Amino acid sequence: MAELPSETLGATDDTVRLTLNGDEVRIAESYEVSVGVLTQPCAFSLRLGHGEVIADLIAKYPPRTPFTLSIGGAVQFSGETDGYTASGEVGATELTIRGRDSLARLHDADVEYDKTFTDKTLRQIVELGLETVGVKNYTVVGNNATERAIRAGNLVHTYGDADSDSSTAHSAIHAKLGETWYEFIKRHLDRAGLFLWAGSSQNLFVVSEPRRNQVPTYRFVRGRQGVEASIETTNAESLGAVNVDNNVVNVERATFHNETTGRFSHCTIYSRQGGRRGGRARMKGGFSDSEMIDLGYDRGRVFRDVNVTSPAQAEFYARRKIAEANRRGWQLIYELSGHTVPTQGGKRAVLTPDTLADVHDDEFGIHELLYVESVTFSRPPTMTRVVLMRPADLVFASDE
């Protein structure tokens, strides 16, 4: 894959930098950095090739060394290293260091016995989990607007998201022996349509929902070979009509995945309602996928959930199940040179999840706003892989 020349990349720096315990470590060989919303935690694997200093690095930076990983000066995430692998010949040893963001402790620690927490809010459950696994001096915020801007190098709009509501007290929240603290927290956040992810700085955590309704940050344009792509933008804050020559298209390779296996045309949720005095009546609700129906499918899926207490809740649960299957079945994956991409404002910025991109792809016939779900930065060659989803498939919270 060809790398974009420096004049195409513009003035934006896309160099990956790793800081270990306050010391910047030069990246000499290769790396892979994964950042996402629906898959946690963020992680990196980085290989150094300086044989003469490997022993010094091993001694100085043991497992659990605090780190910060940046791209072009924009902090992506912080956490602690998990460990390293040293291999090679005498004088040519390579050291591979791996680490995950601050959520790693929640992922690694199990709930040691069945517990029931009463009159706790979801935010308090998150804080209780962090304290139990030893995270100190933490901060929990309710929206991701500031973090999106930081990770993109402060070159994106910083519209203030409304704080997600995690303040409702629950009469009983159960933790099960053997599940991890992250699984326990996620299980209850899921019912509220909320997600937990680590912020850019050490011990900063976000409890929010993926923001599908926002002004698009990035622009992806992919024209047919040898054909100039003339596009009309799809939102008021775009650049208007833009002619893009195939030679400067920023997408190097694309994969469009549209698979109906695992998807269904309608979903039905069964539960029961009522009490001892009036008996427990069978209750159900459902939702249909018009796209699958239009394709001629008549394929149903049935679930049972004893926590559903009304037809409206059952209908929404069914809608969530259909959206979940649709996210697996419909994805657009782009591979790009470098780690910065064009923004709607004409500059370049580090690609960051939980944003929207204005996509114009003549090859696949896609001209719409898509959600940036996850990003993988790697070298060699210096490239970025982005997974894009349809905003309509991001159904999580009941108020959607």
> Which of 208, 227, 248 is the C-terminal boundary of a domain?
208
* Mean pLDDT across the chain: 84
Question: Is 44 or 400 the better-scoring residue by pLDDT?
Answer: 44
Query: What pLDDT is stored for residue 376 in this prediction?
Result: 97
CATH assignment of the domain containing 56: 2.30.300.10
Whether 372 and 229 map to the same domain: the answer is yes
Please name the residues in contact with 181: beta carbons below 8 A apart, sequence gap of 6 or more. Answer: 106, 109, 110, 111, 129, 132, 133
**What CA–CA distance (Å, rounded) separates 183 from 179?**
6
Domain contains 399 = no
Q: How confident is the model at residue 242 (pLDDT cuts 50, 70, 90)?
A: very low
Q: Which two tokens stand for residue 96?
A: 């591979």
Whether 90 and 120 map to the same domain: the answer is no
Label residue 65 left, alpha or beta by phi (over 0 means left) and psi (-120 to 50 means alpha): beta
Whether 338 and 370 map to the same domain: the answer is yes
CATH assignment of the domain containing 119: 3.55.50.10
Question: In this predicted model, what pLDDT tens digit does every residue of 199-228 receive, in sequence order?
Answer: 999 999 999 988 888 899 999 988 765 444
Domain contains 233 = yes
Q: How confident is the model at residue 229 (pLDDT cuts 50, 70, 90)?
A: very low
Domain contains 275 = yes
Whether 146 and 76 map to the same domain: the answer is no
Whether 319 and 361 map to the same domain: the answer is no
Domain contains 64 = yes
Domain of 135, in residue numbers? 105-208
**Under a CB-based contact definition with an 8 Å cutoff, are residues 198 and 208 in contact?**
no
Q: Is the pTM of this model over 0.95?
A: no
Domain contains 400 = no
Domain contains 162 = yes
Closest CA to 146 of 159, 127, 128: 159
Q: How confident is the model over 112-129, as a mean pLDDT?
A: 92
Domain count, the chain: 4
> Which of 187, 208, 229 is the C-terminal boundary of a domain?
208
Closest CA to 220 of 134, 104, 142, 337: 337
Domain contains 287 = yes
Q: Which of 42-46, 138-142, 248-252 has the lowest mean pLDDT?
A: 248-252
Whether 234 and 355 map to the same domain: the answer is yes
Whether 383 and 334 map to the same domain: the answer is yes
Query: What pLDDT is stored for residue 228 in this prediction?
Result: 44
Question: Is 9 or 284 the better-scoring residue by pLDDT?
Answer: 284
